[in-house]
Structure 1
Amino acid sequence: MSTQVVILAAGMGSRLGRSLPKPLTQLNDGRSIMQQQFDNIEHAFGKSAQVTIVVGYKLEHIIEAFPQASFVYNEQYDQTNTSKSLLRALKASGPGGVLWMNGDVVFDPAALVRAGKMVARDQSFVSVNREKVSDEEVKYTTDAEGYIRELSKTVKGGLGEAVGINYVSRGDKAALIRQLGKVGDQDYFERGIELAIEQDKLRFEPIDISDFYAVEVDFAEDLERANLFV
């Protein structure tokens, strides 16, 4: 079965201050942020990977740039956050688990190769960087068995940062869909994961990719840092 991959790209990305959707921002190597994601997906999972992009803001530009993908439309892209974009994508997905990523992450291809081992096992996970714990980023803690316990920007005593590359297994997907439907429109998808862990006893494993680069591009300085790697 081919791997199902979702890229969340509906937002306006206004903090970066570009006229096009943020995932189409060009990197120093000539590729867009999203093109390097497509290249990384193919590197890890081959040409058979099924990629779905959640679109909203100026969607025609993304559709034109990646006609080989499938698309899910978040018509409330200017009123909702990533929880509702992911909800739409998971509802539209086929049977089986789903790997998803934020559409503004520039990352080492090897990060997906490592993650692919967990996808093959059908184990839900959150990719993390243990080297950084910034106040404005999504942080996490773990339970006694090493699985994710808390996952949000307000976590105290975080063990590291979530980098925006995640997977939900076939068996866990229905519970995550249900919880994403409950959370507020402005919640990030991580809130749905937290509730599914708390209420449905889902187990998301933290996958440490600290030895690889992964930069979420929100501001111009993030883009400068990402360009040091590509």
Structure 2
Amino acid sequence: MSTQIVILAAGMGSRLGRSLPKPLTELSDGRTIMGQQFDNVAHAFGRNASVTIVVGYKLEHIIEAFPQASFVYNEEYDQTNTSKSLLRALQASPAGGVLWMNGDVVFDPRILDRAVALIARDQSFVTVNTSKVSDEEVKYTTSAEGYIKELSKTVKGGLGEAVGINYISSRDKGILMRHLAQVGDQDYFERGLELAIEKDRILVEPMDVSDLYAIEIDFAEDLERANLFV
């Protein structure tokens, strides 16, 4: 079964202050953020990898830029957060696990190389960076067995930050969908994962990529930093 890949790109991305959807922001090498993501996906999974993009804000620009993708529409993109965008994508997906990423992450292609082994085992995981912990980012803690325990921006004593590239296994997908449906409209998808871990004891591994770059583009300074790597 081929790997199913979802990119969450429905939001308005207003903090970056661009007129187009944030994933279409151009990098210093001429590619867009999402263009770099597609190249990374092709590097790890081949040019024919199945990619679904969740669209909303100015969706026609993303559809025009990536006609090879499939699309899921979050018509409430201006009223909901990533929990509801991910839910729509999972509901539309066929049987099997799903790899998903935020549409504003510029990252080292070797991250997906590292993910391939976990996906082959159908093991749910969250990609993490242990080298820094800031208030603005989603943080995590682990259980005694080494699996993800807490996952949110409000975690105290976080071990590192979640990068925004994750995988839900075929056996855990239905559980995650149930919790994504129950969380608030403004919740991030991490809240659904956190509840699935707490209530249903799903096992989610932290995949450490601290030695590789992964930068979520929220502000102009994030873009400047990402351009040092591409």
Aligning the two structures, in what range does the TM-score lie when normalised by the shorter sequence? Answer: over 0.9
Which structure 2 residues correspond to residues 72-111 of structure 1 after superposition, within 5 A?
Answer: 72-111=72-111
| 1:223 match | 223
One-letter amino acid matched to 2:157: G
Which structure 2 residues correspond to residues 190-201 of structure 1 after superposition, within 5 A?
Answer: 190-201=190-201
Q: Distance in 2 between matches of 1:58 and 1:128?
A: 30
Q: Distance in 2 between matches of 1:199 and 1:11?
A: 29
| 1:183 match | 183
1:53 equivalent to 2:53? Answer yes
Measured after TM superposition, the shift of residue 47 of structure 1 is 2.0
> What TM-score comes out, normalization by structure 2 length?
0.99
Kindly indicate whether the alpha-carbon contact (under 8 Å) linking 1:2 and 1:48 is maintained by their aligned counterparts in 2: no
Aligned-residue identity in percent: 80
Q: Distance in 2 between matches of 1:48 and 1:204?
A: 28
Kindly indicate whether the alpha-carbon contact (under 8 Å) linking 1:124 and 1:167 is maintained by their aligned counterparts in 2: yes
Measured after TM superposition, the shift of residue 121 of structure 1 is 0.8
Which structure 2 residues correspond to residues 140-151 of structure 1 after superposition, within 5 A?
Answer: 140-151=140-151
| 2:67 match | 67
Measured after TM superposition, the shift of residue 157 of structure 1 is 0.2
Q: Distance in 1 between matches of 2:146 and 2:25?
A: 36
Instruction: Structure 2: state its 5+ residue gaps.
Output: none
| 2:113 match | 113
Query: How many pairs align?
Result: 230
Q: Distance in 2 between matches of 1:135 and 1:23?
A: 23
One-letter amino acid matched to 2:142: T
One-letter amino acid matched to 2:136: E
One-letter amino acid matched to 1:147: Y
Q: Deviations over 1:167-215 (max 9, x none)?
A: 0000000000000000000000000000000111111000000000000
Measured after TM superposition, the shift of residue 10 of structure 1 is 0.1
Q: Deviations over 1:95-142 (max 9, x none)?
A: 100000000000000001001111111000000000010011000000
One-letter amino acid matched to 2:145: E
| 1:139 match | 139
| 1:37 match | 37
Q: Distance in 2 between matches of 1:10 and 1:56?
A: 4
Kindly indicate whether the alpha-carbon contact (under 8 Å) linking 1:7 and 1:53 is maintained by their aligned counterparts in 2: yes
| 1:162 match | 162
| 2:174 match | 174
| 1:205 match | 205
> What TM-score comes out, normalization by structure 1 length?
0.99
Q: Distance in 2 between matches of 1:71 and 1:37?
A: 16
Measured after TM superposition, the shift of residue 226 of structure 1 is 0.3
| 1:127 match | 127
Measured after TM superposition, the shift of residue 166 of structure 1 is 0.1
Look up the SS of the partner of 2:151 in the other structure.
strand
Look up the SS of the partner of 1:174 in the other structure.
helix
44-53 or 147-156, which deviates more:
44-53
Runs of 4+ more than 4 Å apart = none
Instruction: Structure 1: state its 5+ residue gaps.
Output: none
Q: Deviations over 1:21-41 (max 9, x none)?
A: 000000000000000000000
Q: Distance in 2 between matches of 1:121 and 1:35?
A: 28
